[in-house]
Amino acid sequence: MKLLVLGGTKNLGRHVVEAALRADHEVMLFNRGLTNRGLFPSVQHVIGDRADPSALSVGSWDRVIDMSGFLVRDVRLSAELLRDRVGQYTFMSSIAVYADRATPGQDEFGPLVPWPVGAPDNEFTMDLYGPSKVHCESLLAATFGSRAAFVRSGFVVGPYNPDFGNWGTALAHGTQMECAARPSQPVQYVDARDLAEFLLRDLSGPYNVVGTSRTMAEVAAAWRSVVPGALPVDWEPAVDRFHLEDDGLFRLDNGRALEAGLQLRTDAESARDYVAWIRDGNLPPDPPH
């Protein structure tokens, strides 16, 4: 398969490219060339900016995986440019698209957050993160129809990724894990490697690519189990990041993704590999603000 990856040199994108190369796909990367220069020397690198994707005016691909689509304007430009030259457009979206944050068991076809009247399509703020993903999904669906896929995830764990990095670091160095949530807080995440493999599948439409919902206490116990003698969890940090009214976002229905081939490794597997990665001298990236 000829694969075009928009992004591909940091966090989840690295795993996508690694998985594609393991599967012997022909990969081209399009990005600004600012992050991890020299990574993946065997693949073709095209340097450019999402605001001006003209460097992609020539060529065709079986699939594009959009890892860097945040601004609506930028995604619109990519869609218009690639409309007739890619077989499938897979867009990395987010569970932040859902308007109902409280109801458990939502599937992919629940209500989505609206686009604010008068909002700019060329500026990024956290308030516009969810609406921007919805807007991008909508324009891609209008452009590519059933050839568009939208992969919605929340927390992503594993090497190169920031989520739960504080736990991996604490376990690797024998310090106390801290949790900015109540023990009964529901949580869903996906290992970056499982998500990367899923992104390479033949997909159409939206998917909740999240793990099984369980409590934070259950996940913490699984992570602690990989390091004998791990210290107890500190459940009283200074800042509580979660709210009861958001619990539904961590009890999403992932059945459609599982039917499409999503395979999930266990919490212990993810934790063990993350701790080993930290012990090899790596540091997780800072979480986005």
pLDDT value at 97 more than 90: yes
Max Cα–Cα distance, the chain, nearest Å:
57
In 93-131, which positions are buried (b, 16+ CB within 10 angstroms) versus exposed (e)? bbbbbbeebeeeebebebebbebeeeeebeeeeeebbbb
Mean pLDDT across the chain, nearest whole number?
Answer: 95
Tokens 């990041």, residue? 241
Question: What whole-number percentage of the chain has pLDDT above 70?
Answer: 98
Rounded to an integer, what distance in angstroms lies between the CA atom of residue 273 and that of residue 288?
A: 22
Burial group, residue 48, by CB count within 10 angstroms (0-12, 13-18, 19+)? middle
Cβ–Cβ under 8 Å, residues 85 and 233 = no
pLDDT band at 135 (very low <50, low <70, confident <90, very high): very high
Does residue 244 surpass a pLDDT of 90? no
In contact, 79 and 56? CB cutoff 8 Å: no
Write down the pLDDT at residue 237: 74
* Token pair for 212: 């099984």
| Residue of 153, 76, 75, 156 whose CA lies nearest to 108 | 153
Find the range with the poorest average confidence among 81-85, 118-122, 190-194, 196-200: 118-122
Q: How many Å apart are CA 44 and CA 252, to the nearest integer?
A: 37
pLDDT tens-digit series, residues 42-88: 999 999 999 999 999 999 999 999 999 999 999 999 999 999 999 99
Rounded to 5 degrees, φ, ψ at 221 are -65, -40
| Beta-strand pair 155-157/44-47 | unpaired
What confidence score (pLDDT) does residue 288 get?
A: 66
Tell me the whole-structure pTM to 2 decimals. Answer: 0.96
* Structure confidence at residue 149 (pLDDT): 98
pLDDT at 130 over 90: yes
pLDDT tens by residue, 220-233 = 999 999 999 999 99
Q: Is the pLDDT of residue 240 over 90?
A: no
120 contacts 264 by C-beta, under 8 angstroms: no
Alpha-carbon span 102 to 104, nearest angstrom? 6
CATH numbers and ranges of domains, the chain = 2-153 (3.40.50.720)
Average pLDDT over residues 182-190: 95
pLDDT for the residue 99: 97
* For residue 287, pLDDT beyond 80: no
